[in-house]
Every structure is written in C-alpha cells, then in structure tokens.
C-alpha cells in the first residue's frame, strides 16, 4: 500500500464511481479498477461494493477513508509548503454560509482578489454542518460558519457579529400572532442550517411548535415565500432590511440573548496555514476594522 494507491482510493470514494475517478486522475477506468483490486488483495479485504450506478464503500472502506483523506491533505499541504514561501499565491479553497457570502464576503473578496492577483480563490457555499465536515476532512482550507462550534480538530476564531431577526408577512404585527395561524410554516435553508435550528428553538420558547417546514436553496426564495405570507424565517437584520426594500416583510426584533450570533472561521488545527489563507484572513480583519471605524 503506497500513497498513490490511497489517493486513488480516496478519489474513487469521493466520486462513488470508477469512471469519474479515472477522468479526474487522467487515466482509464481499467487502470483504476486494477489498482483498487490490487489494494484489496494487499489488504485482504474488499473496500468497495460494485453496483450498476457505481461503487459504495464497505465497512473496511469506511474505516480506511479517513486515513486516505488525511494523507491526501498532507500531500497537498506539503506541496504548498514547498512552493509557498509565504507569498500569497496558488489555489485557495474556502467555504462560507450563503448569507455570509452575500452580506459580508462579496465586497471583501473583491478587494482581496485585486490585491493578490496570484491567488486562485474558490468559494464554496453550504450549511454550517456541511462546511465544518468538509474542513475537518481536509476538503476546504477553512470556512466561515455560524457559531458556536465545538470540534477538537478545528481552530476557531470570530470574524463577524450579526443581529438576527424574525421575518413574516407584513400582516403579522406581533410574534405571538403566529400561534393563531394554522397553515404557517417555517421557511428555511436545507437541513444543517444553523439558523433553522435557532428558529425552531426561538419559536418553541414562545409556545409555537409543530410547524411544518419549507426548505429552499437560496435566500431570495426564502424572502419571497415569507413575504407572500406563507411562513416565518430567521436571518441577519442586514439581509432582511435589504429584502424589505423590495418585498412586504414585517421584521420582529429579538432579545439580545437570542439575536446575537457570531460568524466564525474554522480551519484544521494541524493544517498548514498557506500564505494565501493568511493573507485572506488578514485582509478581512483589516477591512472589517476599517469599516467599523467609518
């Protein structure tokens, strides 16, 4: 078993397909299949179940995958460390909540890209749960997520602070009115969204439970649905106030203990801090302080 075999195994596991793994590795499917079979023979255990739509991991494959992922990450970090020299450049892949990307990061990243043209920046959006998992697995160098975060493998630092508010259709003047509406729904992003969990907890404290859910993939879809009087949502004040300019939304303030939320940046504790990532974090902190002072 060598590093090349483990990298190939990780690629197959990530794609769930021999053919897609072969395409990424610029080889042919038969070569991938042969090397996987050789690895299984060496380990004397099957790693993959083959089926008509691709492959899935056996129990042994599931146990091997974290080691393979970590090895791939270490190889990438070693390569970065050799060529980096502390100069910001190369590929930088980070994650972010959609709300953070739209509200906070877009203008900051535009300035960063202009200041560091040698950095090839990739931004992937997702829920906090998804992004934390990807950072822990070494698939992202870091991510902007909603706090709190408790994960032994991750370093956590506060980047932004937001005020959350409830939003409903404009006919709802008090949150307590929600108890009287039979067809009301909570309108949220998909499972794993930290705002979704907070919304359910906030409503439960007010005796509003058992609401059905509508899940959407974008903030725009959520705001449009809430404005139509179909449901209630929870989002940062700045997002809602911007949305209210174009839609009939009623915004409901919350007590500070419920309203305050931190946006955190997480990265692996044992991960390599590239020059590109260090420059990005320094740029965001500097610009945030400058904007706060204005």
Instruction: Note the pLDDT tens digit of each residue in 28-55.
Output: 999 999 999 999 999 999 999 988 888 9
> How far is residue 88's CA from residue 110's CA, in Å, rounded to a whole number?
16
> How far is residue 82's CA from residue 76's CA, in Å, rounded to a whole number?
10
Write down the H helix ranges in the chain.
3-15, 18-24, 29-43, 59-84, 98-100, 106-115, 128-136, 194-205, 219-227, 237-244, 256-259, 275-293
pLDDT surpassing 70 at residue 101:
yes
For residue 242, what pLDDT is reported? 87
- Assign 99 a pLDDT band (cuts: 50, 70, 90): confident
User: Which tokens belong to 85?
Assistant: 């020299």
User: Which tokens belong to 220?
Assistant: 């725009």
Angle at 55 between CA 134 and CA 30, to 5 degrees: 110
- Summarised one tens digit per residue, pLDDT across range 123-171 is 999 888 889 999 988 889 999 998 888 888 899 999 988 899 999 999 8
- Assign 76 a pLDDT band (cuts: 50, 70, 90): confident
At the topology level, CATH places domain 3-83 in Arc Repressor Mutant, subunit A (1.10.10)
DSSP state of 269: T
SS3 label, residue 121: strand
232 near 167, Cβ under 8 Å?
A: yes
* Sequence spans of domains, the chain: 3-83, 91-294
pLDDT surpassing 80 at residue 78:
no
269 near 136, Cβ under 8 Å?
A: no
SS3 label, residue 93: strand
Q: Which CATH number fits domain 91-294: 3.10.20.30, 3.30.450.20, 3.40.190.290, 3.40.190.10?
A: 3.40.190.290
pLDDT surpassing 90 at residue 194:
no
Pairing of strands 212-215, 185-188: parallel
Mean pLDDT of 275-291: 88
pTM of the shown model: 0.66
21-31 as b/e: b if 16+ CB within 10 A: bbeebeeeeee
For residue 81, what pLDDT is reported? 65
> How far is residue 76's CA from residue 70's CA, in Å, rounded to a whole number?
10
Mean pLDDT of 64-68: 90
47 near 33, Cβ under 8 Å?
A: no
DSSP lists the bridge partners of residue 91 as 120
pLDDT surpassing 70 at residue 83:
no
What are the Cα distances from residue 261, in Å, to 3, 198, 209? 42, 10, 23
User: Which tokens belong to 65?
Assistant: 């995958």
């Amino acid at each position: 078993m060598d590093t090349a075999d483990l990298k190939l195994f990780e690629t197959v596991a990530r794609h769930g397909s021999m053919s897609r793994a072969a395409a990424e590795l610029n080889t042919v499917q038969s070569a991938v299949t042969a090397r996987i079979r050789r690895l299984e023979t060496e380990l004397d255990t099957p790693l993959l179940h083959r089926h008509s739509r691709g492959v899935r991991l056996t129990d042994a494959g599931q146990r091997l995958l974290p080691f393979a992922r970590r090895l791939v990450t270490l190889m990438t970090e070693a390569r970065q460390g050799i060529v980096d020299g502390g100069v910001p450049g190369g590929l930088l892949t980070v994650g972010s909540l959609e709300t953070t990307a739209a509200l906070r990061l877009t203008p900051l990243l535009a300035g960063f890209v202009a200041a560091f043209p040698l950095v090839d920046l990739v931004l992937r959006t997702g829920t906090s749960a998804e992004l934390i998992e990807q950072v822990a697995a070494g698939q992202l160098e870091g991510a902007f997520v909603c706090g709190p975060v408790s994960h032994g493998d991750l370093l956590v630092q506060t980047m932004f602070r937001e005020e959350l508010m409830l939003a409903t259709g404009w006919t709802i003047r008090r949150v307590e009115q929600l108890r009287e509406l039979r067809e009301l729904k909570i309108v949220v992003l998909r499972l794993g969204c930290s705002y979704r969990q907070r919304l359910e907890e906030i409503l439960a404290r007010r005796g509003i439970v058992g609401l059905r859910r509508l899940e959407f993939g974008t903030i725009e879809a959520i705001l449009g649905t809430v404005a139509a009087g179909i449901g209630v949502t929870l989002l940062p004040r700045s997002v809602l106030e911007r949305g209210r300019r174009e839609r009939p939304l009623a915004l409901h303030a919350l007590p500070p203990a419920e309203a305050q939320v931190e946006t955190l940046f997480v990265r692996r504790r044992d991960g390599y801090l590239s020059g590109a990532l260090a420059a990005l974090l320094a740029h965001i902190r500097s610009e945030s302080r400058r904007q706060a002072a204005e």
